Structure 1
């Protein structure tokens, strides 16, 4: 019985992840014709077309869809086995790049502290931060990232996670705003002002609006912006009320114990919203990797140092 060519495993993994010959060729540093020949060999070996023409693009066959995750896991294990032994992890000489998928707020709050913590013990390690425009487990499943940070959502039952910290939304207005003068901000007072809301997809309403509706109140959404820095900038220069996570204010001057002159006034919302759990997520293929485990623990330590409890 002829043994299969295990060199084809890595090519199969990349082809199934990219879903195109051209994309796989770019990732593997091969010419398109060489990648096409590799695909032909894979078709002969598996007895399945794997990729078929679908209009101007290529699509995975049902068999290719079925084996995609198994192929990813097998390729990861093969790479791990063929790396130098890391049973005794030497952080001082560890050369590795880790990719973290997070939103911009996490980078602004924790990025500098995390980079500094990594550099202090593992100077040859590189952190790559990837933006997170939507919730999806694709990047973890396909091995495109090492860690994801955010609210769990529908990531699938296989994804591993640990809670980093709990967060909540608070109201923010400029210093000297009429709401700052109130000893107690009622729902009616809160709803009476215009609001600037963060929305990446153009949806302006959320849990706060549902709670206000129960009191026959409604916010006037005067502006939608794509991120929390923009919301704070608008609130600081206007009469509008911003809604932001409390942790996002950790680096704001004069707030939460930071030095500098405060330019914003922060208050608890007059309606009770649920706290948010921010989690660190990874794929089970990385569970036992010593370097990956070290980075997970470091992220947890940095977050809990800045957001105790």
Structure 2
């Protein structure tokens, strides 16, 4: 038995050492979520992939004084508003946070759930989101994330490291997902058509969820104890906005009612959808994202000025 243990250790120690070395190469190329689990935050952005691509923390940092932002938006499957996302926020935020700024991005999709879901425990992200099994959000490298949620060979971490060039979907240290794609008109039309068809089908199975609205309000209540909360609706292309408006015509009214009760501002930018470029009709192109983020910052600064 002793000899067996010695032989096992002889092989295991080098293997563990190799894993530790490979894990140290995890970075913004690893996947679209890894860096969300490598640092805690004070001021941050919440939402889905529309928010992860449309709001650039570095632009907010330049325009809003005394804040350092982190974009803690994942995607519609992994971070819709719900108990799981709220618990993740409580782990992500620095415990002593105060006087911070929180931007909660909303749309019909991240407040919807399948029509047959009537209990919190049955929300789909409980099964598929990396938020479901993570305890540590401030480790770099974060071996917990790699072990639990990186389903590829760890040699890929070394092969695809960012020092060899940024990937087309590069997750910055501050959580901004920078997407670089072909923006030729013919390619853009094809991607947009595919996204329109996706949301037409998606809408048939979904409904605005009282469960998500309840969790959204609880998220607001929690963050209000740490700072000022702003709710922002991000625009999409004309085709996607048409689907959203048919899906839930009174969505803005629902948001206005909630934000009025919570005494926080609601900035709806959907009336300006034509002012921006989109990579697929749904997600804002990175250059438009910088302009859009600056407009959010201007709205926040104007609101703060009114309070003085």
TM class by smaller structure: under 0.3
The structure whose Rg is larger is 1
Between structures 1 and 2, the one with greater strand share: 1
Give the TM-score taking structure 1 as reference length: 0.21
- Pick 1 or 2: higher relative contact order, CA cutoff 8 A, min separation 6: 2
Give the TM-score taking structure 2 as reference length: 0.21
